[in-house]
A and B are shown apart, each in its own frame.
Chain A
């Protein structure tokens, strides 16, 4: 026990003496949380909008005005021809093009029916999808008003009964993206910092040769590993605290659920990450190798965590892979507890899977750590 305590003490001394590492541990996460949470938004704004009006009637102008009035669109230009509009799209000057056909107003009145062409720059597929929804919404609303303005009383009979949906967004009423991004980004920070630090830590001793000296001593495997990894567990918990404080103070994220539950889950979760880190450093020779392998897994884990893209929309095989992604469970738990106020029984599936993961990972890591080379 005395040995473990001494190693922990030594480890902390080394962390706090490493002037290059300290800012990475404490400043970088804070900066990332503040910057990423504000920047990583799914809202698409300032869409560069262009149109080709072949009709030039009050109806077509009214439609364009609708776009102008929207805060999402910056109405840019009225293109005189298709060719010029396509060229502008090619140059990236417009994102969305609206084609209003000739006799738009006349046909609407006569046929009660017409088509509009919309061209969307889909280089960024996700943004294109959102833009499409915006365009459709504006056109639909315009359509409803149009019925009142253009249609005769006699037309009333053939107007179909419309069904309206009124959505209610539970747990995040205003669909504030920060409310669900901040818990997710907090997860990333805790994971990244603890994984990188633990992954590089033991391999660093290998690199500078101190491990060889340690291996000749009678120190026990578990003493050494616990002593080495415990400080990073503490740092991980510290990061969670810093992140939660920032989430409350800077972003005013609602914290409906219980804090002790979040800490309980995180304390187990970090064991998984430390196990992965130790496992990586057992199989690498230099910090550089350890860093690249850690990055490889982090990127896959993040992209498949459900943080940026919902897991439900992934193909089946990918969904199965996410079952082995610890970040996925952490993101789920943080969002459930923070936003929905889930209790212990609600997160029990995630908690038990994480616990199992921790046991397996730490077991593997300790088993693969050899004092002989």
Chain B
């Protein structure tokens, strides 16, 4: 096991940030922590990266205990905080060199690990980090977190505030790093990214709702979801909510994801009901369950 977390709890005064969290991450696994803002993801990261001490419970990273053996952990993990936290007034190269030096290594020594990522920012190596675009900053931060060849990589919301193209690229990079044997623990509020992980933990209000592979989590979803669409979105949602058989109603892009309480649900019934509520251009069709639907269902 690369990371083991057992029964971890942490409170900030009256707020219970984490309540009895337990999970394991296997070696070389890409593990996702999926949850909304304030779910406790960052607190968990800070405990695992030895920045914060849990109120109760134990955790190990690469076999070392997070409280008593924190020194060994600091040598063998890479951490990329959610907020860009490199020196904005140093250049790309200087930042990288700085982190290499304080880890007691050099850029050359582990260049093969960061090569794929670094070549993309190499043309800007004399530019100050503060003057880089959001995607470039992420790449630089990732390089800095990798420069000492860590066994485990902690990425706290690495793609928040990054454009869709850079996000996609970033996940491709993570996949490549995983193939080099690095265990990756990544957190994200984006449900679409969850499907890219080997296993995910859905987390809300400091509690883990479910841990499994993304496919298994989707399969656990008990109901058939329908995409519903009409000419008036607002009225559609209020009408569906008012429908006596409705189980869940969530807006999802240009559609509404609808599930019904009945097992023998027929879309025609719903169509007639919606028409009676003066809606037109109605479309009802079956759709695939997504992680987001599962999360909404579990978080109910």
Q: Mark B66-82, 1 if CB is under 8 A from A, else 0.
A: 00000100110101010
In the complex, what residues of B have CB within 8 A of residue A3's CB?
101-102, 104
**Residue A177 is within 8 A (CB to CB) of chain B in the complex:** no
Q: Provide the bound-state CA to CA distance between A14 and B86, in Å.
A: 13
**Residue B51 is within 8 A (CB to CB) of chain A in the complex:** yes
A18 closest partner in B (C-beta): B89
A217 CB contact (under 8 Å) in B52, B74, B97 = B74
B101 closest partner in A (C-beta): A6
A214 closest partner in B (C-beta): B102
**Residue A132 is within 8 A (CB to CB) of chain B in the complex:** no
| Further 11 A-B residue pairs, CB within 8 A, beyond A7-B102, A217-B99, A218-B71 | A2-B101, A3-B104, A13-B90, A14-B89, A210-B86, A212-B85, A213-B81, A213-B85, A216-B79, A372-B51, A372-B53
A217 closest partner in B (C-beta): B102
Interface residues of B in 104-149 (CB under 8 A from A): 104, 128, 144
**Residue B9 is within 8 A (CB to CB) of chain A in the complex:** no
Q: Provide the bound-state CA to CA distance between A371 and B49, in Å.
A: 11
**Residue A106 is within 8 A (CB to CB) of chain B in the complex:** no
**Residue B94 is within 8 A (CB to CB) of chain A in the complex:** yes
Binding site for B on A (CB under 8 A): 2-3, 6-7, 10, 13-14, 17-18, 208-210, 212-219, 371-373
**Residue B88 is within 8 A (CB to CB) of chain A in the complex:** yes
B154 closest partner in A (C-beta): A216
**Residue B84 is within 8 A (CB to CB) of chain A in the complex:** yes
Q: Provide the bound-state CA to CA distance between A2 and B100, in Å.
A: 12
Q: Mark B34-62, 1 if CB is under 8 A from A, else 0.
A: 00000000000010011111000000000
Q: Provide the bound-state CA to CA distance between A214 and B81, in Å.
A: 11
In the complex, what residues of A have CB within 8 A of residue B128's CB?
17
Binding site for A on B (CB under 8 A): 46, 49-53, 71, 74-75, 77, 79, 81, 83-90, 94, 97-99, 101-104, 128, 144
B103 CB contact (under 8 Å) in A10, A14, A210, A218 = A218
**Is A17 touching B102 in the complex (CB atoms < 8 A)?**
no
Contacts A/B (CB < 8 Å), 14 sampled: A10-B87, A10-B98, A14-B87, A14-B90, A208-B88, A209-B81, A213-B79, A213-B99, A215-B51, A216-B49, A217-B74, A218-B74, A372-B53, A373-B46
In the complex, what residues of B have CB within 8 A of residue A372's CB?
50-53
**Is A210 touching B51 in the complex (CB atoms < 8 A)?**
no
Counting chain A CB atoms within 10 Å of each CB, the highest count among B71, B79, B86, B101 belongs to B101
Chain B nearest CB: distance from A289 CB in Å?
Answer: 19
**Is A6 touching B98 in the complex (CB atoms < 8 A)?**
yes
A218 CB contact (under 8 Å) in B46, B75, B83, B144 = B75
Known contacts A209-B83, A213-B85, A216-B77: A373-B52 contact under CB 8 Å: yes
In the complex, what residues of A have CB within 8 A of residue B104's CB?
3, 218
In the complex, what residues of A have CB within 8 A of residue B85's CB?
208-210, 212-213
In the complex, what residues of B have CB within 8 A of residue A13's CB?
89-90, 94
**Is B86 touching A213 in the complex (CB atoms < 8 A)?**
yes
Q: Provide the bound-state CA to CA distance between A7 and B98, in Å.
A: 8
**Is A209 touching B84 in the complex (CB atoms < 8 A)?**
yes
The 7 A-B pairs of least Cβ separation, nearest first, read A209-B85, A216-B79, A6-B101, A209-B83, A219-B102, A218-B74, A213-B85
